[in-house]
Amino acid sequence: MSQLRHARQVKSSAVVFVLMLAASLGAWSGVTSAAPAQSAAPVSFYLKSGDRVVFYGDSITDQRLYTTFVESYVVTRFPRLKVSFVHSGWGGDRVTGGGGGPIDVRLRRDVIAYQPTVMTIMLGMNDGSYRAYDQQIFNTYAEGYKHIIDTVKSALPGIRVTVIEPSPFDDVTRPPQFPGGYNAVLVRYSEFVKQLGEQDGLAVADMNTPLVAALEKAKAADAELAQRILPDRVHPGPGGHLIMAEALLKAWNAPAAVSAVEIDAAAKRVVHADNATVTGLKAENGLAWTELDQSLPMPVDLKDAVVALALRSSDFVHALDQEALQVTGLTASNYQLKIDGEDVGRFSKEQLAEGVNLALLATPMARQAMAVHELTVKHNNVHFARWRNVEVPLSDLPSPDKRAALDALDKVEADVVAEQHAAALPKPRHFELVPVP
């Protein structure tokens, strides 16, 4: 299945994007030095308990890929953090609005009505009109962007806004369509967004620079496959959206660590367990223990060749997905790692002493994270159906039952969200390191 087709299926609410972890990037050969994650968000993390986030934008946001990746990261990394998410992207939108109505209608209905404490804005791809830089067109963008922020801040005093520099038009894996290329226009728009954010004290996320850099690196590795990161040059597939999600999460000071455990087998002791609890350590014919991490790894489909290429071409794993296990003092040459009785990998004692990133393996924790992401997509599908198939198209219908239908769909979504949060609660896992020839 192509990445573009996959994105369209998610957009149409027809398919749940179920992610599977695999070791296709190879075992991580170092223990992260990043600060450990916490069961509640650390002070430095941008989102706080009680926040409601509205993602606002055009068709790239409407794909509901970078947005659902961000949501799944937050829910799996901070499973006890009470944060809710609303996805309000509409294909074709500009700062003046679009198919969903004029900008003031869009803001009132699709942002302000939800009373968010946090809003992200990504607009610009359509605003540049897919042509060489034009000052008048840019002025419309700048004025419209400021209007969005002023309107939202006036209606919702205290809202925290994250402005996002527009994601790229792919002028890397294919030749530009005119001198300089369209992405150079988007970079000029990005500079405005960054300056506006700095002037107004807003958080700023750059989704253009890191994805362009990944495209360049991916092209050098596999030029044909690299084109599929942005299949139509505008709308990224899941691999591109993961890099975009990383950019937003970095702007929010997201921690890299899922957990970090170090065990000294010779001394039969736990050296440290960051964001994890280790009990019942036994050293009989190898090593065994019970571990309860406070977070889950990020669900990433590394069996997808395009996703794997995108992540190899970026620092996503290093920056966001470190589930470190380090075991020193082992005597046998090689060991089979089992978790809950399942074989998850074979490692030399040197690899284990250096450290293994479990987030790159097909573990029970990875499957649990996949299930959480599936529920993330499901609740967004319910919201999409409510919003785009009932609320907006039936806005003028004088039916006394319409409100009841909307309320019922809200309840269904709330039920799925409750299931999502329950599914994210970590479980104790039984670990074994068994000597093998």
Can you give the C-alpha Rg of the chain in angstroms? 23
Q: What pLDDT does 285 receive?
A: 87
Domain map (residue ranges) of the chain: 3-256+364-423
Residue located via tokens 């607009």:
123
CB atoms within 10 A of CB 393: 10
Write out the E strands in 254-320: 257-264, 269-274, 276-282, 287-293
Q: What pLDDT does 42 receive?
A: 65
- Helix/strand/coil for 402: helix
**Is beta strand 118-122 parallel, antiparallel or unpaired with respect to 52-57?**
parallel
Q: What pLDDT does 248 receive?
A: 98
- Helix/strand/coil for 57: strand
Backbone φ and ψ of 177, nearest 5°: -85, -15
Q: What pLDDT does 22 receive?
A: 34
Q: Give the per-residue SS3 of 106-126.
A: HHHHHCHHHCCCEEEEECCCC
Backbone φ and ψ of 52, nearest 5°: -120, 125
Residue pair 52/117 in contact (Cβ under 8 Å)? The answer is: yes
- Helix/strand/coil for 407: helix
- DSSP alpha helix (H) spans, 116-163: 135-155
Q: What pLDDT does 284 receive?
A: 85
- Helix/strand/coil for 428: coil
CA distances from 419 to 5, 39, 259 (A): 28, 18, 24
pTM (two decimals): 0.90
CATH class of the domain comprising 3-256+364-423: alpha beta
**Could you give the CA distance from residue 22 to residue 229 in angstroms, rounded to a whole number?**
19
pLDDT per residue of the chain (437 residues) written in tens, 0 to 9 = 333 333 333 333 332 232 333 333 433 333 333 333 344 566 699 999 999 999 999 999 999 999 999 999 999 999 999 999 999 999 999 999 999 999 999 999 999 999 999 999 999 999 999 999 999 999 999 999 999 999 999 999 999 999 999 999 999 999 999 999 999 999 999 999 999 999 999 999 999 999 999 999 999 999 999 999 999 999 999 999 999 999 999 999 999 999 999 999 999 999 999 999 999 999 988 999 999 999 999 999 889 999 999 999 999 999 999 999 999 999 999 999 999 999 999 999 999 999 999 999 999 999 999 999 999 999 999 999 999 999 999 999 988 899 999 999 999 999 999 999 999 999 999 999 999 99
Q: What pLDDT does 40 receive?
A: 56
